[in-house]
Structure 1
């Protein structure tokens, strides 16, 4: 497999692919695959993609040399009365990231995470948040990129990165 990829801004037409990446993120464990309709059908995951691209949404998609999507990272502003897993407060975008299994450990996730955090900072946000299940290898990536655990929940941690 070639390891070259490019990153472009996410557009409205990427909504279905972002849904696929929510499924990848939810199914990070080997052999723990839940079907797409089950993951996206539940309100707790649907909120990350429903109505993409709303005002305040931003994201990036990584593509291979043939233009096939390899992964995506995006953020949403979720309301206090419908918080996401990584909600920390009003005005703090919650980041979601997913990478196709074949592209993991090739720098795609790190590049997407860095680009999205740079963008969020340029948009004036002071922090971004995310949620990661305990045991997920991605938590090592998040820590190496400056995220710190701010809240521990049932089987998952909320992490925040200060951007300024």
Structure 2
């Protein structure tokens, strides 16, 4: 399945919301309602006000230029940390891929491009949060992420970018 990537833009906000829903509903058959996910602070902080200063992202497109996945980061404040918050100034990423496109290299490509962007933006580390049992943990480990904090049912992982 061929695909290409491009930088995320402000107009991608609605698609990023779709990808937050995909990320939250990663389990087979796990369908939490969209409105419940998008209104919960654990998820809404990743899309509210997209694209603000310091935000960056990458979108994957199929052959018809339809978006199939996205990865993006935000630098969240200590006063409103995300699930994978590590420290002030460390961007936290989120990634979502439409189910039919999973296991086709889309997630890996998005992750690599986003880490390249974070490095180019001068960041030395990037973090994320992943639920235990999510197959994406394998992807993150093979791309150089390591667990730094374990929480209830989820881990915070970090990658050194320099």
- For residue 140 of structure 1, report the CA deviation from its aligned partner: 0.1
- Correspondence for 2:147: 149
Counterpart residue number, 1:113? 111
**1:74 aligns to what?**
72
Counterpart selection for 1:40 from 38, 44, 51 = 38
1:84 alignment counterpart: 82
Residue 161 (str. 1) matches residue 159 (str. 2): yes
User: 1:44 deviation in Å?
Assistant: 1.2
Compare 144-153 and 27-36 and name the one that shifted more: 27-36
1:99 positional shift: 0.2
- TM (normalized to structure 1)? 0.98
Q: Alpha-carbon deviations, 1:12-48, whole Å to 9, x = none?
A: 0000000000000000001111111110011110000
Number of positions where the alignment pairs a residue of Structure 1 with one of Structure 2: 162
Question: Corresponding residue for 1:123?
Answer: 121
Q: CA RMSD in A?
A: 0.4
Instruction: Give the Å deviation of 1:88.
Output: 0.3
- Displacement over 2 Å in runs of 4+: none
**Structure-2-length-normalised TM-score:** 0.99
Of 9, 14, 21, which residue of structure 1 is paired with 2:7?
A: 9
Three-state SS of the structure 2 residue aligned to 1:75 is strand
